[in-house]
Structure formats: C-alpha cells, structure tokens
Amino acid sequence: MGEIRLHPGITARLYTDKKCFGPGVAMLLRRIDRLHSLRAAAQDMEMAYSKAWTILREAERGLGMKLVDAAAGGRNGGGASLTAEGRRVLAAYEGFEAELKAYAEELFARHFGPLLDDR
C-alpha cells in the first residue's frame, strides 16, 4: 500500500441566521474584481448568471452592505466592480481563512502527529 498523507480540510463560512459568506462568494468576488463583469465571472465559474446574482444578493443582504457596483450593459457596455466594503470584506475573509487554516495545521500536527508517527 502506498503512503497516505492525511491532512485537514478547513473552509470558513460566515452565518447570520443562514450562511451569508463563504468560499464560493469569495471566489465570485475575486473573479468580478479580475474580469470587471458579473456575467464573465459567472461564466468563468461555470455558473448561471442568475445564480451568481442570487448568491451576491444573499451575501449582501446577510452582511448588510453592498459588495458590488454593477452597471447594466447597453451601448457603452456594462461592468461590475467591488465596492470599498466588498474589498474590505474579501480581504478580512481571506486573512481569517488563511489564519484559520494555519492554526488547523498546527492543531492537526499536535493531535494526529503522534498517531501518524506510530504507523
């Protein structure tokens, strides 16, 4: 049998009375920031545009702040960009998640290290 590398899988999700922010919303915001379009971000994630709008609206409702400014298409084209609040929430989430994962690795090593060393 080959060597098996056991490791923790940690993701952060933020809740009010229901989930309002997590890895999927963060991924959507990163792509909106890079592509300057909600439609392009949704396509890049292989997600329906309507689902992307629903995810975004629910996150904004749950957090109580606007995350994205979007302009409808037309002659001059549309576009989307993160609001200042959207940038702050995304940065806070990414920092929180990175620290959470680092701490999870420490805890995992402490609790499972001795068990795995005995194999």
CATH code, 44: 1.10.10.10
Domains contained in the chain, number: 1
For residue 33, being part of any structural domain is answered with yes
What pTM, to 2 d.p., does this model score? Answer: 0.86
Range of the domain at 69: 19-117
- List, for residues 12-69, the tens digit of each pLDDT value: 999 998 899 999 999 999 999 999 999 999 999 999 999 999 999 999 999 999 999 9
For residue 107, report the phi and psi dihedrals to the nearest 5 degrees: -60, -40
Query: Could you report the per-residue pLDDT of 66-95, keeping only the tens digit for each?
Result: 999 987 765 566 799 999 999 999 999 999
